């Protein structure tokens, strides 16, 4: 090199980290594996929780998406996993851990092929083909549950909710909570099923069994001024006025200037200001409102004015709560009181202020067009309630999904094993490298039952053998055999023991896991820019980990 005196070609900024080629794919796979290992032990009904401390905040969770999010993954390839977990969470709300595990397992299976020199694109093609077949089969296997009677439908929903709650802290009270969740979802508009309309309120104290469902809206007592206690706290069929308006004695316009000549006029200005607020209050009272809620503050003057006229008011109601009240009571939020029309008022069967633990709550019950529900969660510790909320969230999402799509599959790893069996069988009929790859896909699917068994402290190898044998016998009989964490034999028909999941969850999990795996396999070069100047001032230049390689000749 030196005899030609070839100058160094600097293509990228100094300190840029690049790596490429087969080694890059393998190293990406390793990184993904490491991340998936963290969430592995949370899978299944015997899954454990993780405690993650970020700053002063401590989170205890069993939810894959939550954990991955809190880990603050910075490795670019491993971030893909975080993203699919999140997308699964957004799309179906549950099954985040299994998606992550599946993606990692697919990559693990692909690793030997890459190392042996099979082109990644062939692996990708094989995986896509296998996915296509699996999805097709999944559709065929899923059971269309009869929806004739509402009772049967409700039963199905309960079963699905229970399966989702199985692995969570609430597992022991799943009967109770599945009832809550299903009743809450049933309250929603069946066409839209807007998740935002189910409110979950946390109140520390009490035991989880003290949690309850309000068929309407509940929110915490807002900040109140003197006079609030004199207001009535209970109404039947009240007229509810919803406002986005400040009811306070204050200057109407900033920077306005008024010139007055005589001292007598001074009083007029003062009176004018009072007149303004009184006028507003008067309109509300005249219109016949009995409960006044506002997103903006309701001052002490207005509080006392309402108290004198037996009207309940609450200011600074959070936006989402006001929205729910609007939906539940059929009222409309007004931004002015001018031309206030009683038709814009909502109503509900019963309004009450009640004491829940140490907090006071406003409850709007028996709403006429109730399209909302609120779950008030109780529990011993803050973290406990937070985790309970996340678990309920998963259950709510699952029930929503079930509500829409009426197909289910059996959980406990049964469906994965059945798909795996089918793919293995299919693989024998193809020639070429694809055979290997479809086989790997089939093998990767087995990670789900295996992990469930492992986490439950069972002998996973023995269980897997039993399950494979059951499934291989084929037919309707062996199809739904999955891991049984309670029984002595370790396997059971999960369909008849009601471990049910909506097939949509599985479908989405398979798709996104495969997509993620393919995406990572197709990356053969990473270019990582050095950290920005601010960081480099603190640290000496260059990456501490990997030396720059490749670009310099």
Write out the binding residues for other proteins, residues 39-98 only, by CB under 8 A: 41, 46, 48-53, 55, 58, 60, 62, 70-75, 78
Q: Hey, which residues between 378 and 407 contact other proteins (CB under 8 A)?
A: 379-384, 387
Annotated catalytic residue within 96, 99, 100, 514: 96
Q: Is residue 305 close enough to count as binding other proteins by CB under 8 A?
A: yes
The rounded distance, in Å, linking the Cα atoms of 54 and 290 is 46
The rounded distance, in Å, linking the Cα atoms of 236 and 368 is 12
C-beta closer to other proteins: residue 305 or 436: 305
C-beta closer to other proteins: residue 234 or 425: 234
Catalytic residue at 100?
no
C-beta closer to other proteins: residue 73 or 134: 73
* Contact letters for other proteins, residues 221-240 (x by CB under 8 A): ----xxxxxx----------
Selection from 198, 194, 202, 203 nearest residue 214 by Cα: 198
Q: Is residue 472 close enough to count as binding other proteins by CB under 8 A?
A: no
Q: How near is the Cβ of 155 to other proteins at its closest, in Å?
A: 25
Selection from 126, 168, 101 nearest residue 426 by Cα: 126
Catalytic residue at 394?
yes
Annotated catalytic residue within 17, 94, 394, 484: 394
Q: How near is the Cβ of 473 to other proteins at its closest, in Å?
A: 29
Which run of H or of E encompasses 313?
strand 312-314
Catalytic residue at 90?
no
* Contact letters for other proteins, residues 343-382 (x by CB under 8 A): ------------x-xx--------------------xxxx
Residues 6+ apart with CB under 8 A from 35: 68, 71, 73, 75, 78, 81, 82, 100, 104
Q: How far is CA 482 from CA 163, 449, 479, in A?
A: 13, 7, 9
The rounded distance, in Å, linking the Cα atoms of 91 and 29 is 25
Annotated catalytic residue within 42, 59, 66, 97: 97
Kindly state the tokens that stand for 506.
């599985």
Q: Where are the beta strands (DSSP E) in 418-542?
A: 481-483, 491-493, 500-502, 525-528
The stretch among 212-220, 267-275, 442-450, 469-477 that binds other proteins (CB under 8 A) is 267-275
Counting residues that bind other proteins (by CB under 8 A) gives 79
DSSP one-letter string for 105-168: HHHHHHHHHHHHT--HHHHHHHHHHHHHHHHHHHHHHSEE---SSHHHHHHHHHHHHHHHHTTS
Q: Is residue 546 close enough to count as binding other proteins by CB under 8 A?
A: yes
Q: How far is CA 225 from CA 297, 316, 356, in A?
A: 10, 12, 21
Q: Is residue 266 close enough to count as binding other proteins by CB under 8 A?
A: yes
Among 31, 414, 442, 453, binds other proteins (CB under 8 A): 31
C-beta closer to other proteins: residue 251 or 341: 251
The b-or-e profile of 320-350 (16+ CB within 10 A means b, else e) is: ebbbbbbbbbbbebbeebeebeeebbbbbbe
C-beta closer to other proteins: residue 199 or 379: 379
C-beta closer to other proteins: residue 9 or 74: 74
Cα angle 453, 454, 456 (rounded to 5 degrees) comes to 65
Residues 6+ apart with CB under 8 A from 98: 43, 64, 448, 509
Catalytic residue at 96?
yes
The rounded distance, in Å, linking the Cα atoms of 412 and 334 is 51
Q: Is residue 18 close enough to count as binding other proteins by CB under 8 A?
A: no
Among 37, 132, 320, 477, binds other proteins (CB under 8 A): 37
Task: State in Å, rounded, how far the first CA of the chain is from the last one.
Answer: 9
Among 30, 344, 366, 526, binds other proteins (CB under 8 A): 30
The rounded distance, in Å, linking the Cα atoms of 252 and 210 is 47
Annotated catalytic residue within 63, 89, 215, 493: 63
Q: With the CA atoms of 280, 283, 285 and 289 taken in that order, what torsion angle do they form, in degrees rounded to the nearest 10? A: -100
Among 7, 117, 140, 263, binds other proteins (CB under 8 A): 263
Residues 6+ apart with CB under 8 A from 105: 36, 444, 447
C-beta closer to other proteins: residue 267 or 465: 267
C-beta closer to other proteins: residue 386 or 508: 386
The stretch among 102-110, 269-277, 422-430, 465-473 that binds other proteins (CB under 8 A) is 269-277
The rounded distance, in Å, linking the Cα atoms of 50 and 41 is 9
Cβ atoms of 294 and 314 closer than 8 Å: yes
Exposed (0-12), middle (13-18) or buried (19+): which is 102, by Cβ within 10 Å?
A: buried
Among 144, 175, 237, 267, binds other proteins (CB under 8 A): 267
Q: How near is the Cβ of 411 to other proteins at its closest, in Å?
A: 18
Among 3, 428, 545, 553, binds other proteins (CB under 8 A): 545
C-beta closer to other proteins: residue 206 or 542: 206
C-beta closer to other proteins: residue 155 or 300: 300
Q: How near is the Cβ of 9 to other proteins at its closest, in Å?
A: 27
Q: How near is the Cβ of 199 to other proteins at its closest, in Å?
A: 21
Q: Is residue 275 close enough to count as binding other proteins by CB under 8 A?
A: no
* Contact letters for other proteins, residues 182-221 (x by CB under 8 A): ----------------------xxxxxx------------
* Contact letters for other proteins, residues 281-300 (x by CB under 8 A): -------------------x
**In angstroms, what is the C-alpha Rg of the chain?**
30
Q: How near is the Cβ of 116 to other proteins at its closest, in Å?
A: 16
Strand order in the sheet with 212-214: 198-204, 373-379, 212-214
State the catalytic residues: 63, 96-97, 394
């Amino acid at each position: 090199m030196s005899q030609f005196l070839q100058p160094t070609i600097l293509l990228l900024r100094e300190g840029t980290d690049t790596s490429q080629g087969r080694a890059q794919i393998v190293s990406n796979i390793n990184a993904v594996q490491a991340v998936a290992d963290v969430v592995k032990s949370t899978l299944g009904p015997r899954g454990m929780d993780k405690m993650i401390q970020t700053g002063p905040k401590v989170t205890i969770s069993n939810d894959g998406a939550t954990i991955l999010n809190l880990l603050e993954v910075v490795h670019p390839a491993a971030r893909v996993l975080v993203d699919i977990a999140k997308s699964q969470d957004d799309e179906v709300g549950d099954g985040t851990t299994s998606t992550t595990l599946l993606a990692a397992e697919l990559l693990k299976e692909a690793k030997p092929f890459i190392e042996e020199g099979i082109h990644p694109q062939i692996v990708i093609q094989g995986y896509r083909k296998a996915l296509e077949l699996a999805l097709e089969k999944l559709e065929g296997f899923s059971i269309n549950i009869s929806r004739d009677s509402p009772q049967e439908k409700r039963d199905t929903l309960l079963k699905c909710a229970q399966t989702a709650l199985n692995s969570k802290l609430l597992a022991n009270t799943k009967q109770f909570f599945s009832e809550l969740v299903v009743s809450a979802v049933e309250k929603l508009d069946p066409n839209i099923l807007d998740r935002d309309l189910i409110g979950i309120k946390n109140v520390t104290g009490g035991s989880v069994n003290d949690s309850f469902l309000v068929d309407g809206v509940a929110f915490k007592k807002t900040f109140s001024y003197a006079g609030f206690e004199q207001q009535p706290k209970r109404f039947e069929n009240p007229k509810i006025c919803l406002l986005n308006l400040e009811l306070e004695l204050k200057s109407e316009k900033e920077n306005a200037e008024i010139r007055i000549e005589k001292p007598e006029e001074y009083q007029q200005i003062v009176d004018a200001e009072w007149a303004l607020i009184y006028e507003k209050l008067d309109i509300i009272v005249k219109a016949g409102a009995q409960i006044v809620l506002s997103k903006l503050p309701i001052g002490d003057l207005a509080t006392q004015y309402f108290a004198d006229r037996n009207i309940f008011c609450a200011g600074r109601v959070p936006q989402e709560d006001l929205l729910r009240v609007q939906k539940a009571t059929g009222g409309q939020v007004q931004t002015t009181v001018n031309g206030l029309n009683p038709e814009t008022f909502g109503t509900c069967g019963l309004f009450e202020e009640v004491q829940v633990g140490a907090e006071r709550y406003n409850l709007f019950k028996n709403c006429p067009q109730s399209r909302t529900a609120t779950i008030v969660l109780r529990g011993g510790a803050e973290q406990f309630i937070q985790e309970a909320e996340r678990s309920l969230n998963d259950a709510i999402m699952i029930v929503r999904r079930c509500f829409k799509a009426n197909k289910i599959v059996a959980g406990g790893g049964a469906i994965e094993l059945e798909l795996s069996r089918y793919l293995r069988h299919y693989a024998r009929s193809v020639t070429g490298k694809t055979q290997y790859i479809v086989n790997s896909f089939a093998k990767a699917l087995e990670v789900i039952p295996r992990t469930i068994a492992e986490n439950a402290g069972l002998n996973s190898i023995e269980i897997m053998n039993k399950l494979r044998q059951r499934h291989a016998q084929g037919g309707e009989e062996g199809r739904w055999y999955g891991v049984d964490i309670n029984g002595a034999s370790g396997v059971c028909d999960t369909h008849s023991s009601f471990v049910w999941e909506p097939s949509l969850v599985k479908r989405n999990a398979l798709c996104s896991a495969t997509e993620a795996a393919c995406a990572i396999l197709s990356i053969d070069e990473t270019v990582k820019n050095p950290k920005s100047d601010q960081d480099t001032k603190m640290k000496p230049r260059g990456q501490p980990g990997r030396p720059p390689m490749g670009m310099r000749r």
